[in-house]
Structure 1
Amino acid sequence: MLHYRLYETDPSYSWVTFIHGAGGSSSIWYKQIKEYKNHFNILCIDLRGHGKSKKDTWKKNDTFIQVAEDVIKVLDHLNISSSHFVGISLGTIVIQTLAQEYPNRVLSTILGGAVIKLNIRAKFLLTVGRLFKSIIPYMWLYKLFATIIMPYSHHKESRIVFIQQAKKMCQKEFVRWFSLTKSINPFLKNLQLNVKGIPTLFIMGEEDYLFLAPVKELVSRQPELHLITLKNSGHVCNIDQPQKFNKATIQFIQSLNY
């Protein structure tokens, strides 16, 4: 089972489950936990191969569906029937998969730095990564990608946090996760065809130049979706602008009257 951290404040509170991005861990939510504990019970999960979760749990042909199943097993173990889900970056793909495969377990989705489509620059980065993932030490690639995706000086804390967390991975796990990106665009397109009535908030940094435009396009076509953009923030907006992130996301959940 995946490693998790639990903060159960009040049995009457709703649950919020946090899902981190590639190379991260449950510890990247350190700027959210304190504020969220005032309103919700919290579950933070380390995805397979990340943080303190076991390494080498992959089977041939595993996809994001199996990754989502990992999360459901934790909820089952803890007798959590349903939860709000908050994710960042790759974690938003896991959450979107959960919403499609287990809609009855998902009260709402909050997708930070959401990945819903890859533009030409993102595709180029992933192609380079796939070409060299088994040759170049993964931390070289990870540091390069972190610098490209989070390029500005006020993204420095986000870069440092994710690079530090990525050091807990290993080359084999990095290669496994990277392999999931091979057919990611068709997979993402299918996820967006039907949100199954689940309240969905996208929260993006205005400087998230790789992923913001596709989200804006999607929200313009599907008025039931919500989008908030944060100034002076890049891809990892929960770290770049934590106060604004926390206020907007907590208000969104509270507006649902659960």
Structure 2
Amino acid sequence: MFVTSKDGIKLYYETAGETGTPILFIHEFGGNYDAWEPQMSFFSRRNRCITYAARGYAPSDIPADVEQYSQVLAAEDALAVLDGLGIEKAHIVGLSMGGFATLHFGLRFPERALSLTVAGAGYGTERATADYFRNTSLKVADNFEKDPVGFSKIYSLGASRVQFQNKDPRGWAAFAERLSRHSAVGAANTMRGVQCRRPSFWDLEDELKKMMVPTLIMSGDEDDHCLQPSIFLKKTLSASGLAILPKTGHTLNLEEPALFNSLVSDFIAQVEAGAWNVRDPRADPGQVMRTE
């Protein structure tokens, strides 16, 4: 039930399904490995599914040193899970913090990714709000460090979380309870080491333009700080598609599980059929209407 990262961190994982191509699910800051249960149940009917707890999230190891947390290490941990299970290639699906890890996995290890699903990713990448995001992240880290249970009640009612509460109070309550179990050390170090230090999408533009891994970008239309970053990714990644979920916030896979599963399932089917291609060069974004 554990694999070991390149720097010796034990990562807890669970699997479901015995056949079909593998799918690796990477959770968000506010979740854990068990936040993917609606996807593990659905996709394991036809795929080998894997979910794991990121470093800093029990029952994985929780390093006390903030320098053992970074965006690079997050991508390398995903690779360690695949290596530990003897999986050569997989579809990688990530939400928010996991979406960033998924994107960086594609940049660093494109030969190991059959496809990428980058959902709810973008916080901290907009240059106009970058300083505000970093400062807020440091405050969040301090608050989780002081009182993870008490602060989880505040964090779970963020501007892009209330949509989930309004649609599905029971599901949201389970999310909030899961959040309250975060390690004070793990949550604080994840915020300081990963969230605060990760590069902006705009800083990665040249690398992103070269990446040809089939990618599905997903965002809720009320997840305001993911909308523009998602559009930027769509314009930059040649082999990408963009899905905007209506009246939806940040926790896409739990807030709209049926729609999320349907979109990802269709995407994976197209990739495996060889039908998800790079954008047709005739679709010139500079052209309004053809005149000749």
| Preserved contact between residue 57 and residue 183 of structure 2 (Cα < 8 Å) | no
Flag the 1:131–1:150 CA change in 2: closer, same or farther, 3 A: closer
Higher RCO, Cα 8 Å, sep 6+: 1
Instruction: Tell me the equivalent position of 1:244.
Output: 259
Give the one of 6, 27, 36 matched to 2:15. 6
| Preserved contact between residue 112 and residue 236 of structure 1 (Cα < 8 Å) | no
Q: Tell me by how many angstroms 1:193 deviates.
A: 3.2
In 2, Cα distance between equivalents of 1:68 and 1:61: 13
Equivalent residue letter for 1:6: T
Flag the 1:172–1:48 CA change in 2: closer, same or farther, 3 A: same
| Preserved contact between residue 91 and residue 115 of structure 2 (Cα < 8 Å) | yes
Residues 181-216 of structure 1: CA deviation (Å, up to 9, x unaligned): 223344773277325210000122222122122212
Flag the 1:244–1:62 CA change in 2: closer, same or farther, 3 A: closer
Q: Which moved more, 1:225-234 or 1:120-129?
A: 120-129
Give the one of 42, 47, 59 matched to 2:54. 47
Flag the 1:47–1:193 CA change in 2: closer, same or farther, 3 A: same
Structure 1: give runs of 5+ residues left out of the alignment. none
Give the one of 211, 215, 219 matched to 1:200. 215
In 1, Cα distance between equivalents of 2:85 and 2:64: 21
Larger Rg: 2
TM-score, structure 2 length as denominator?
A: 0.78
Residues 57-105 of structure 1: CA deviation (Å, up to 9, x unaligned): 6563642111222222221121100100111111011111111111111
1:178 matched to 2:191? The reply is yes
Q: Which moved more, 1:146-155 or 1:194-203?
A: 146-155
Give the one of 56, 69, 82 matched to 2:76. 69
TM-score, structure 1 length as denominator?
A: 0.87
| Preserved contact between residue 148 and residue 181 of structure 2 (Cα < 8 Å) | no
In 2, Cα distance between equivalents of 1:206 and 1:251: 21
| Preserved contact between residue 25 and residue 51 of structure 2 (Cα < 8 Å) | yes
Number of residue-to-residue matches in the alignment: 256
1:189 matched to 2:198? The reply is no
Structure 2: give runs of 5+ residues left out of the alignment. 1-9, 274-292
Q: CA RMSD, aligned part only?
A: 2.6
